[in-house]
Structure 1
Amino acid sequence: MCTRFVYHGNDMITGFNFDIDLSVWKHKVIMDEERFYIGILRPDRTYHSYHGVNKNGNVGTLLYVHGNPGGEYQASPDCMTIADLAEEFIKGQITFDDALQLVRDKKITYAPDATMQALLSDIHGRVLIIEPGLGYREEHKKYSLITNYSLIDPESTKNYIVPGDDRYERALQLLDCCGNDFSVSNAYTLLHAVRQEGAWATRVSFVYSAKEQAVYYVENNRFEHITKYVFP
């Protein structure tokens, strides 16, 4: 269960709550000269960057979604997994325009072992929402928001909404009230408001400021302890 938003005001700010069950996934926060990312340990013993920020302003995140048959993994040169697409974007191997061309030219599928949707954004605030099996949507507006349910075809995931899960509605209400001076502090107010607890608790929250070229992050809901990482 995760929450991701992009806000385009005087600063281009994006925020992400990474909510996972520690018995299912192993992760760690990793920083280098080019990337800040939440590394996910995969069977190849590598911590992959499926959720993170590139120094060039690319921000990519995957969010769990109940799968649909149209997005099933296919080992075909005409297909690309949502995980590979997100990681290439975060690594800076492809641009926003490249990603847009890929979703037009190839069938985007789930990874073999996980059903995810994605939100990619660039330093200019352009947004690409990708839902395997359902399609994609390009946005460039005041703000964009996604959680763990389909935006392209809400009916397809309506029956899988967790009772009481109103993160999207609460975040939307907060974003609606903000103006051009939306700040890192405002972003953390939103992430704190929709944080999760229990087995699928929020393990990492990060906010990226394009103007500052910096990522602010907290771990395990310790919002009183925010760490700042500035790209060199």
Structure 2
Amino acid sequence: MCTSIISNRNKTIVGWNLDLLGMEYRIHNHEKGVFIEILDKQQGWLPLFGANTRKDFVGMPTCWPFDERSNPKEKEENILLLDMDLLMQKKTLQEILTIVKKERICSIPNVTFMSSLSDCKGNVLQIIPGQGYKYYEKPVYQILTNFSPFKMNSETHPWMGWDRYNIAKNILENASDDFDVNDCFDLLKKVSQQVCPTVVSMVLDADQGIVYWCENQKWDTIEKRILQKKLAY
């Protein structure tokens, strides 16, 4: 589960709820950004979500139901590596867009991870391994929960997040031009989860270059970091 939103009005505001069950995570306030990392038994801590100092944002919901077309084959680009390359500023959003236009993208075996990627200009790239991609040049808003935007509600699953999608869509369709960080946290609170609990809620104000977050739905305990300029490699 998870919910990713972006609003482009007076400001570019990106929001992300990480809904996680049975996995260990940590928030790493890294020199290159604020990352939510997941512990992998073989590879250690993997920076899979969050905002970097270039003001890119990476969200990666799981697609329900699973689509076997996302299973890896030889010589394919893996969605996790693309996401981490954007987060660590090894590739730009436009470079990843060029890749997905030419290459077939896979996920890990038996799990269809999707990507909701954005840059400092508010452009959005959604990648659904085995199905394709959708690119939006500074849309008024975009949402990705846990179903494929290619299938919408034609296939159903208890964790697909159709209810969360419609709640977010109603809020963003009717939002004012001054939609801001507090409004985004209010939206994330409305779509937060208990069964598969929301463990991190994160908001990026791309115009101001500030990332905010709270853990375990403690909406009155919000931390923030002012992002610095991209560091040279």
Same topology, TM > 0.5: yes
Measure how far apart 1:45 and its partner are.
4.2
Q: Which residue of 2 aligns with 1:115?
A: 112
TM-score by length of 1: 0.92
Q: 1:144 aligns with which of 139, 142, 145?
A: 142
Q: Which residue of 2 aligns with 1:68?
A: 67
Unaligned runs of 5+ in 1: none
Q: Spell out the pairing of 1:1-232 with structure 2 (5 A cutoff).
A: 1-21=1-21, 23=22, 25-65=23-63, 66-74=65-73, 76-77=74-75, 79-112=76-109, 114-140=111-137, 141-154=139-152, 158-162=155-159, 166-198=163-195, 200-232=196-228
SS state at 1:3 partner: strand
**In structure 1, how many angstroms separate the alpha carbons of the residues matched to 2:132 and 2:161?**
27
Asked if the contact 1:62/1:116 (under 8 Å) is kept, the reply is yes
Residues paired across the two proteins, number: 226
**RMSD of Structure 2 on Structure 1 (CA):** 1.6
Instruction: Give CA-to-partner distance per residue, 1:114-136, whole Å, 9 cap, x none.
Output: 32111110000100011111100
Unaligned runs of 5+ in 2: 229-233
Instruction: Give CA-to-partner distance per residue, 1:45-79, whole Å, 9 cap, x none.
Output: 421111111110111111011221221112x22x0
SS state at 2:60 partner: strand
TM-score by length of 2: 0.92
> Partner letter of residue 38 of structure 1?
I
Measure how far apart 1:161 and its partner are.
4.0
Asked if the contact 1:217/1:227 (under 8 Å) is kept, the reply is yes
Over the matched positions of the two proteins, sequence identity in percent amounts to 27
